[in-house]
């Protein structure tokens, strides 16, 4: 992608089904405005049946888009339909960011980078631990496992209510990933320096279990990829018990950075103004 992206009228999308809850238009709209770029970024609801045609129109350029984000339930099919998925998406089997380059549809998955950039900003040194505990084994857990592994944390314990799902992930992501049932949580937390919640436990309208974080290393950090509410019950408990915490909003903001840069040619920054904008929007709903 060359200088042409500096010109006016570049259009990007976020597509999902449903898509109206997506905060991506707010994030990218903020960056387009603050960087004074003329492009657009809009939410486009596409049903699963219509998704292949949507991608075909992207590829043949009749849609007018240069790329976009893909969210639930289209991440797996987006990966399959892309011409050039990168290694990160290939291992995950899912892509959330698409862009046209040299006439081909490229795809990556930026969730893991969003996760690590957020921790890098808010708790530098988080990766200087030999051991991490990741609660949950759903779609969101995969990108986190991959990212934590790729940063060199060499023992990762995946704890999940349904042990089979945790085992699938330990098989997929390598020998240093271990699967455990919920009952093993206390035991595998012993000495770990990073605890990540990737489950919906503690989201609004969900009951959160009580967790004793004391087996963690003294300087451990506890983070949640859920960001509604910003301070989830699990984070509140960890803080009360004296641990450092990092909320999940930054992951949402940072995962948007690589896509924006691909489509619009400028690297945007995640700053306090952007965070405040999204928090104000959360307060409205
Ligand atoms: P996502 O793509 O957002 O990760 P998901 O694939 O539905 O969503 O995964 C949700 C995760 O939260 C799973 O790890 C799920 O555990 P199961 O694999 O056993 O279903 C976990 N989860 C959701 N509700 C839970 C609950 N009440 N207790 C324990 N784990 C729960």
| pLDDT digits 0-9 by tens, 33-92 | 999 999 999 999 999 999 999 999 999 999 999 999 999 999 999 999 999 999 999 999
Average pLDDT for 239-261? 98
Q: Which band of pLDDT confidence, cut at 50, 70 and 90, is reported for residue 285?
A: confident
Please report the atom of ligand 1 found closest to the CA of residue 209: 28
Residue of 21, 136, 183, 203 with the most ligand 1 atoms within 8 Å of its CB, for mutation:
136
Please report the atom of ligand 1 found closest to the CA of residue 137: 14
Average pLDDT for 16-31? 97
Cβ atoms of 131 and 152 closer than 8 Å: no
Residue with tokens 């639930």: 72
More confident: 283 or 117: 117
Q: Residue whose CA is closest, atom 25 of ligand 1?
A: 201
Q: Residue whose CA is closest, atom 27 of ligand 1?
A: 201
Cβ atoms of 38 and 12 closer than 8 Å: no
Average pLDDT for 124-153? 96
Give helix then strand counts, H and E, for the chain: 12, 12
Cβ atoms of 253 and 270 closer than 8 Å: yes
What pLDDT shows up at residue 3? 39
75 is catalytic: yes
Residue 279 has pLDDT above 50, yes or no: yes
Residue of 111, 139, 161 with the most ligand 1 atoms within 8 Å of its CB, for mutation:
161
pTM equals 0.94
Residue 17 has pLDDT above 90, yes or no: yes
The Cα 85–Cα 89 span in angstroms is 6
The Cα 221–Cα 217 span in angstroms is 9
Residue 155 has pLDDT above 90, yes or no: yes
DSSP-derived pairing of the beta strands 104-108 and 11-16: unpaired
Q: In whole angstroms, how large is the CA radius of gyration of the chain? A: 19
Residue 27 structure tokens: 């994030």
The Cα 92–Cα 100 span in angstroms is 21
What pLDDT shows up at residue 4? 41
Average pLDDT for 92-98? 97
Residue 161 has pLDDT above 80, yes or no: yes
Among 46, 45, 42, 16, smallest CA distance to 29 is for: 42
Please report the atom of ligand 1 found closest to the CA of residue 141: 4
Separation of 139 CA from ligand 1 center, angstroms? 9
């Amino acid at each position: 992608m060359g200088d042409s992206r500096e010109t006016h009228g570049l259009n990007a999308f976020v597509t999902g089904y449903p898509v109206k809850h997506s905060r991506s238009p707010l994030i990218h709209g903020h960056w387009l405005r603050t960087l004074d770029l003329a492009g657009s970024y809009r939410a486009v609801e596409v049903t699963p049946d219509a998704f292949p045609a949507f991608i075909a129109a992207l590829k043949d350029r009749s849609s007018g888009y240069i790329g976009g984000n893909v969210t639930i339930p289209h991440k797996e099919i987006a990966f399959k339909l892309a011409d050039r998925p990168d290694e990160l998406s290939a291992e995950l089997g899912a892509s959330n960011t698409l862009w046209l380059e040299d006439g081909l549809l490229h795809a990556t998955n930026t969730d893991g980078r969003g996760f690590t950039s957020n921790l890098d900003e808010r708790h530098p040194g988080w990766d200087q631990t030999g051991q991490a505990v990741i609660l949950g084994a759903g779609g969101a857990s995969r990108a986190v496992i991959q990212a934590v592994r790729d940063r060199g944390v060499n023992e990762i314990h995946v704890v999940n209510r349904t042990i089979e799902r945790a085992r699938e992930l330990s098989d997929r992501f390598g020998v240093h990933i271990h699967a455990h049932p919920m009952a093993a949580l206390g035991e595998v937390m012993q000495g770990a320096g990073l605890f990540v919640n990737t489950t919906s436990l503690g989201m609004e309208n969900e009951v959160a279990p009580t967790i004793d974080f004391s087996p963690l290393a003294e300087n451990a950090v506890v983070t949640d990829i859920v960001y509604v509410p910003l301070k989830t019950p699990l984070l509140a408990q960890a803080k009360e018990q004296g641990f450092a915490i990092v909320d999940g909003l930054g992951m949402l903001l940072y995962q948007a950075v690589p896509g924006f840069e691909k489509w619009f040619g400028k690297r945007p920054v995640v700053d306090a103004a952007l965070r405040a904008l999204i928090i104000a929007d959360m307060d409205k709903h």
